[in-house]
Amino acid sequence: MSQAELPQGLSDDEAGRRLSTHGPNEIEDRERHGLASTLRGVATEPMFLLLLVAAAIYLVLGDLGEGLLLAFFAVVTVGLVIFQERRSEHALDALRGLASPHVRVVRGGQVRRIAARELVPGDLFLVGEGERVAADGIAREAGGLAVDESLLTGESVPVRKRASQQAAGASAEPIGGDDTPHVYASTLAVSGHALVEVLATGRGTRVGRIGASLADIETAPTPLQRHLRRLVQVFGAVAVLTSAALVAWYGLQRGDWMQGVLSAIALGMAMLPEEFPMTLTVFLALGAWRLARIKVLARRPAVIEALGAATVLCVDKTGTLTENRMRLARLVTDGADIVAKPGAPLPEDVHRLLEFGMLASRRGSIDPMDRALLDHGDTALADTEHLHPDWQLTHEFPLSPELLAMSHEWTDAAGVHRIAAKGAPEAVFDLCHLGPQRVQALLVRVRLLADQGLRVLAVAEGSSADGATAKQQHDYDFDLLGLVAFEDPLRESVPAAVAQAREAGIAVAMITGDHAATALAIAREAGIDIAAGTLTGAELQRMDEAALADAVRRVRVFARVLPEQKLRLVEAFRRNGETVAMTGDGVNDAPALKAAHIGIAMGVRGTDVAREAAGLVLLDEDFGRIVGGVRMGRRIFDNLRKVMIYITAIHVPIAGLALLPLVFGLPPLMLPAHVVLTEMVIDPVCSLAFEGAPEDPRVMRRPPRRSDEGIVGWPMLWRGLAQGGSLLAATMAIYVLALQAGRDADVARTLAVIGLTLGNLLLVAVNATVGVGWRTLFTASALAFWGVAAAASVALTVSLAVPATRRLLHFGVPAIGDLALSIAVVAVSVSLGAVLSFRARLQRDQHQANEDEQHRVP
């Protein structure tokens, strides 16, 4: 594209009219779980079905009150599920808006970044390397554009595209083949760039017409989700067998088959830990929403679990550690060394250097050095002969691994070719065929600039001996004009974030394509360990796998690294047993992002391919956000583990109280209504109280957990069983002693249910405050807990105070003394169970801490 002004494109008003006419650029509406879908899901839940069966049995037996009560509970259960589903869906809606693809469009003569769904026929949009084509269209300008159309053709070889000025119209030509001007939605630009006019959007595209939908890919269940499903299925199978045995035993032993069925239903409801999958869904959805609030977008739920285990953060320098707003700092020629200050005039000695630096840059580029040169030059060279809006760009030679320099061939008004090159100093010196002594003298100057943390490029002016376009850059005759140096300030948040990461046992490694001296200067300022110096891409290339694995144990600064070499670094870290988080933004970064345990793509300058390969997208590209994401990931993991322990614990007394009285020949204690009343406390507690629990103050002062340590494991289950067993023993003892003391069965049941409800709330308090202290119960973060506790207390009070409700629930009014004794017994038992469970945990954690200390990050 020439340096002349961009085409006008559509106006906002016209684009709005066409959007109304043609509709959004979407093939299908994104999949959402609407109300009907939620209701269908609830209708297949075992708990809901058991409630309906119990209500039907009561109605058949003529007990209208209990039947209607259970039907009411079924409606309330539906309401709770809808509330949790909607809460998760609202969080996911916010994430969909952040994750939706964007496109650079030309409107009103300006380049804007808009949601791809707002693209309309007639729009002009820019597509570059690594970006997916947003709509079917025709290339109006193209530079080295090659597109992977395998999505439509099945051919994996990219095809070349050329520009065309033919009249806009749907393409009748077959898809595939080189040198065609048409591009198609959802195909991938693997190299080059183009200005494309939109011909068709949404369902009018080739992809839309064959019914494909790439916007919404059904995500397979994560290992954790599959594990929890299996766990629920095992519990469900055991519940079915146990309930069936109970029906048979009760019917044959006592001859009361209906009571046996009702008791079996209560037992089945008590044994089903259906909260596991629901809690995981809610936590991951709201966890992703919380991460998005700190500018970290989680594209896959499993990555949230992995965040807390990260031991190495491999990060880019530019834009992640630094602000990615490079500005021109120095202009160096043989006769001048000028500090470039914004708005200040430049001496004539460096005008030509800046002029050809601009000519070697591309307008509309997202490259920060291109933008810095053009922004500074447009101001400093205004009203001089060094700006050339009438020149035409006729050929581009892009950067390549073999030659880290790029050249632009321009044609002036007289038809003469003018060539401008810029790139890594060593590469440009090679293009200029400088002698060894001259190169050594220039490299000394480069190192002096790089030692100051500056990014240095060389600029050259070239010509063609025969006046024709050359086949490669080396075929031109280049003369060195000088050096341009840029500064990219370190983000203010980085030193503190690096220090926090190291305190959390996480090593920070910087991987950059910059000069080694530049990398060391930035690393020193950021607080990254530089004791082992740097490892360059050339040195890395010569190492075998064993030597590289040994090197990455010590080195934390990697310079002059090519994108494809990042994969080797990730694999080397993984061979050393590290859990790796890797940032990347380019097409060639995708393999490294996939190989890392946690791939982190850049949200602003990252390509679509990088974002698709990554589990996380960093929306504002600040390194502090990565550390913040690790902190949030650890908090989410901790709270998930707490709620899993609680769910395990509370189901022990519920199931025990439904089964044991029958086994010992006592009157039934837990009827279906009592079980569902308890479940109505459990469900909101799981999704509200635990999910919103504050983080452990030591969350970033402990080493990462072991990578093989999952959320659900036997230590967690044993702690839950210890806590639940203590509460079961207390409530069962209350029930038995009350009956032996001559209390009515309804009164004994009331004392046990009150004890169970209190114990339930105490289990929540015990587990939610682990690591954060009891004082957090009196902060704003505990409002959900107190809300649920108040609702449970009111429900119990109403159940006892209203005679009709008391009869329906088979409750009796206990004496104050009995009630106080029951509360005291439950409080002591739950406290004892908590002490036993957490004592075992502390011993295990101390053993783990001793092992981790031996591997602490230096």
CB 640 within 8 A of CB 302: no
Angstrom distance (rounded) from CA 198 to CA 120? 7
Instruction: Identify which has the larger pLDDT, 428 or 492.
Output: 428
Q: Give pLDDT, residue 317.
A: 81
Q: Give pLDDT, residue 690.
A: 83
Instruction: Identify which has the larger pLDDT, 538 or 281.
Output: 538
Crossing angle of helices 257-271 and 623-663, rounded to 10°? 160
The average pLDDT across 553-581 equals: 89
Q: Give pLDDT, residue 1.
A: 46
Model-level pTM greater than 0.95? no
Identify the weakest region by mean pLDDT among 236-245, 753-762, 840-849: 840-849
**For residue 135, is pLDDT > 70?**
yes
Long-range contacts, 541-546 (Cβ 8 Å, 24+) = 541/565, 545/571, 545/572, 545/575
The average pLDDT across 87-110 equals: 69
Confidence class for position 167, pLDDT limits 50, 70, 90: confident
The average pLDDT across 609-627 equals: 76
- How distant, in Å, are the alpha carbons of 141, 199, 396 from that of 145? 10, 18, 11
The average pLDDT across 214-222 equals: 41
Identify the weakest region by mean pLDDT among 174-183, 229-238, 500-509: 229-238
Instruction: Identify which has the larger pLDDT, 108 or 843.
Output: 108
**For residue 213, is pLDDT > 50?**
no
Q: Is the dihedral of CA 295, 300, 304, 309 positive or negative?
A: negative
Q: Give pLDDT, residue 810.
A: 87
Angstrom distance (rounded) from CA 63 to CA 562? 77
- How distant, in Å, are the alpha carbons of 45, 81, 266, 411 from that of 41? 7, 9, 22, 66
**For residue 279, is pLDDT > 80?**
no
The average pLDDT across 584-607 equals: 73
Longest dimension (CA), the chain: 114
**For residue 35, is pLDDT > 90?**
no
Confidence class for position 601, pLDDT limits 50, 70, 90: confident
Q: Give pLDDT, residue 220.
A: 43
3-class secondary structure, 214 = coil
The residues with which 479 forms a beta bridge, in sequence order, are 461
Angstrom distance (rounded) from CA 695 to CA 324? 32
The average pLDDT across 127-136 equals: 87
The average pLDDT across 459-480 equals: 88
Q: 425: closest CA among 444, 408, 443?
A: 443
**For residue 128, is pLDDT > 60?**
yes
State what percent of residues in the chain have pLDDT above 90. 29
Residue 151, number of CB atoms within 10 A of its CB = 17
Burial of 122 (0-12, 13-18, 19+ CB in 10 A): middle
Identify the weakest region by mean pLDDT among 365-369, 525-529, 797-801: 365-369
**For residue 241, is pLDDT > 90?**
no
Q: 399: closest CA among 373, 374, 367?
A: 367
> 472 is written with which tokens?
């490669």
Confidence class for position 46, pLDDT limits 50, 70, 90: low
- Cα angle 133-135-138, degrees, rounded to a multiple of 5: 85
Mean pLDDT for the chain overall: 81
Identify the weakest region by mean pLDDT among 198-212, 383-397, 608-622, 695-709: 608-622
The average pLDDT across 417-429 equals: 93
Q: Give pLDDT, residue 216.
A: 40
Angstrom distance (rounded) from CA 228 to CA 232? 6
Confidence class for position 233, pLDDT limits 50, 70, 90: confident
Q: Give pLDDT, residue 769.
A: 85
Q: Give pLDDT, residue 3.
A: 40
- Total length of the chain: 858
Identify the weakest region by mean pLDDT among 517-526, 628-637, 682-691: 682-691
Identify the weakest region by mean pLDDT among 82-86, 303-307, 394-398: 82-86
Phi-psi category of residue 342: left, alpha or beta, with phi > 0 → left and psi -120 to 50 → alpha: beta
Q: Give pLDDT, residue 273.
A: 66
Q: If you compute the radius of gyration of the chain from its CA atoms, what whole number of angstroms results?
A: 34
**For residue 856, is pLDDT > 60?**
no
Q: Which residue's entry shows tokens 């048979």?
A: 248
Identify the weakest region by mean pLDDT among 128-142, 293-307, 779-793: 293-307
Q: Is the dihedral of CA 780, 785, 786, 791 positive or negative?
A: positive
Q: Give pLDDT, residue 510.
A: 93
Angstrom distance (rounded) from CA 346 to CA 334? 16
The average pLDDT across 389-407 equals: 87
**For residue 236, is pLDDT > 50?**
yes
Confidence class for position 249, pLDDT limits 50, 70, 90: confident
**For residue 49, is pLDDT > 80?**
no
Confidence class for position 464, pLDDT limits 50, 70, 90: confident
Identify the weakest region by mean pLDDT among 48-57, 150-159, 388-397, 733-742: 48-57
Q: Give pLDDT, residue 523.
A: 92
The residues with which 200 forms a beta bridge, in sequence order, are 136
Identify the weakest region by mean pLDDT among 24-33, 183-192, 206-215, 821-830: 206-215
Confidence class for position 645, pLDDT limits 50, 70, 90: confident
The average pLDDT across 318-341 equals: 85
Q: If DSSP states are collapsed to H, E and C, what string results for 110-141?
A: EEEEEEHHHCCCCCEEEEECCCECCCEEEEEE
State what percent of residues in the chain have pLDDT above 70. 78
**For residue 57, is pLDDT > 70?**
no
Q: Give pLDDT, residue 737.
A: 94
Identify the weakest region by mean pLDDT among 23-32, 404-413, 837-846: 837-846
What does DSSP say about strands 477-487 and 327-332: parallel, antiparallel, or unpaired? Answer: antiparallel
CB hemisphere CA count around 390 (13 angstroms): 7
pLDDT tens figures, 351-379: 999 999 999 998 877 677 888 899 999 98
Confidence class for position 857, pLDDT limits 50, 70, 90: very low
